[in-house]
């Protein structure tokens, strides 16, 4: 007999197959993804970052997310605005699993809330854990409203197939600073990673949620709806892995620069997870390992601020 998770995975695979067959936009873009160029940089001889030249992502990277631009566009995640070929698969009572028609991953999903409600994680982290468990072949991710979400006015997660992001290996190989380590839950930060990443490993959903809440509340917030963050969660060996990237900046200086200095990069979960998405060829050709490291450092919460978070959590 198949478990509930196996059943759901089978339905998701069937959805991907159906959409790639019957939806020309998706079919064209997934086909194009097979030939995108990428290159890998080894940084500080500790971890890899890949850069992907992906012209299909231009709208997302350059998305205008100010409230006026949002009001004036039709929300692309509201069911009444979905292209007629797009199908959704219900998850729990609140979400619809959709195939993302502008893929970064060979299998790339968007998990949209059924209602047009703001992108906020506080009350939805447990939903994210449920989704990760139901999709054991995927990494599920959340982009904060000012950390890469191109629909900050419509609650959604995304998911991409496992085996794609360097982060999955980095959590195993990098040095750690341990914050908590006890039966059923551990928490640590990844050291010398050019970005601020806190990892929670938990076999118990409630404990993970409680710790996530403490971290969330310990982050200093100024004029923001929530701490600036990207979140990646996956389920393996009966445990949830949660990687919290705390951010200082939405977009790096080079995003706004003119002329030679300009690079169109708007870091979100995938970039923080080790795959930089560059929709413009000029940027792909000129970017260096030095730039990648500098951008990660620039948009991440500082080391001092992270230590302050740990002091406040006080476990
Ligand atoms: Zn909407």
CA of 257 to the centre of ligand 1 (A): 31
In angstroms, the CA 301 to CA 177 distance is: 16
**Residue range 99-126, pLDDT digits in tens:** 999 999 999 999 999 999 999 999 999 9
Instruction: Quote helix, strand, coil % in the chain, to nearest 5.
Output: 35, 25, 35
CA of 189 to the centre of ligand 1 (A): 35
Q: What is the pTM of this model?
A: 0.96
The CA angle 38-300-97, to the nearest 5 degrees, is: 60
**Residue range 11-20, pLDDT digits in tens:** 999 999 999 9
pLDDT at 262 exceeding the cut of 90: yes
pLDDT at 2 exceeding the cut of 80: no
Average pLDDT over residues 33-48: 96
CA of 68 to the centre of ligand 1 (A): 15
Tell me what pLDDT residue 77 has: 96
**Residue range 209-231, pLDDT digits in tens:** 999 999 999 998 887 889 999 99
Average pLDDT over residues 250-255: 95
Please identify which residue in the block is written with the tokens 């409630």.
206
Average pLDDT over residues 76-105: 96
131, 78 Cβ separation under 8 angstroms: no
CA of 171 to the centre of ligand 1 (A): 34
CA–chain centroid gap for 39, Å, is 20
**Residue range 156-172, pLDDT digits in tens:** 999 999 999 999 999 99
Tell me what pLDDT residue 1 has: 63
Q: Which structural domain range is residue 22 located in?
A: 4-313
Q: Which of 36-50, 57-71, 275-289, 291-305 has the lowest mean pLDDT?
A: 57-71
CA of 238 to the centre of ligand 1 (A): 34
CA of 82 to the centre of ligand 1 (A): 10
CATH number at residue 220: 3.30.428.70
Number of domains in the chain: 1
CA of 307 to the centre of ligand 1 (A): 37
CA of 65 to the centre of ligand 1 (A): 13
């Amino acid at each position: 007999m198949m478990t509930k998770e196996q059943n759901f995975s089978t339905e998701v695979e069937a959805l991907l197959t159906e959409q790639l067959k019957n939806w020309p936009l998706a079919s064209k873009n997934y086909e194009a993804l097979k030939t995108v160029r990428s290159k890998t940089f080894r940084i500080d001889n500790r971890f890899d970052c890949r850069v992907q030249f992906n012209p299909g992502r231009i709208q997302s990277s350059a998305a205008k997310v100010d409230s006026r631009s949002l009001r004036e566009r039709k929300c692309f995640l509201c069911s009444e605005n979905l292209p007629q070929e797009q199908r959704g698969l219900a998850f729990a009572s609140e979400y619809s699993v959709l195939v993302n028609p502008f893929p970064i991953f060979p299998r790339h999903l968007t998990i949209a809330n059924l209602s047009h409600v703001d992108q906020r994680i506080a009350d939805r982290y447990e939903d994210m854990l449920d989704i990760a468990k139901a999709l054991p072949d995927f990494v599920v991710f959340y982009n904060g409203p000012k950390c890469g979400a191109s629909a900050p006015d419509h609650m959604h997660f995304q998911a991409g197939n496992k085996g794609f992001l360097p982060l999955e290996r980095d959590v195993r190989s990098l040095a750690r600073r341990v914050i908590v380590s006890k039966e059923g839950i551990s928490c640590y930060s990844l050291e010398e990673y050019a970005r601020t990443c806190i990892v929670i490993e938990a076999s118990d959903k409630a404990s993970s949620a409680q710790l996530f809440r403490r971290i969330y509340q310990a982050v200093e917030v100024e004029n923001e709806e929530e701490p600036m963050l990207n979140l990646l969660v996956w389920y393996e060996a009966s445990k949830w892995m949660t990687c919290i990237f705390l951010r200082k900046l939405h977009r790096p200086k080079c995003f706004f620069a003119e002329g030679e200095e300009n690079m169109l990069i708007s870091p979100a979960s995938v970039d923080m997870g080790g795959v930089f998405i560059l929709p413009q060829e000029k940027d792909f050709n000129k970017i260096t390992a030095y730039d990648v490291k500098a951008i990660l450092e620039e948009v991440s919460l500082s080391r001092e601020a992270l230590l302050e978070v740990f002091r406040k959590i006080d476990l």
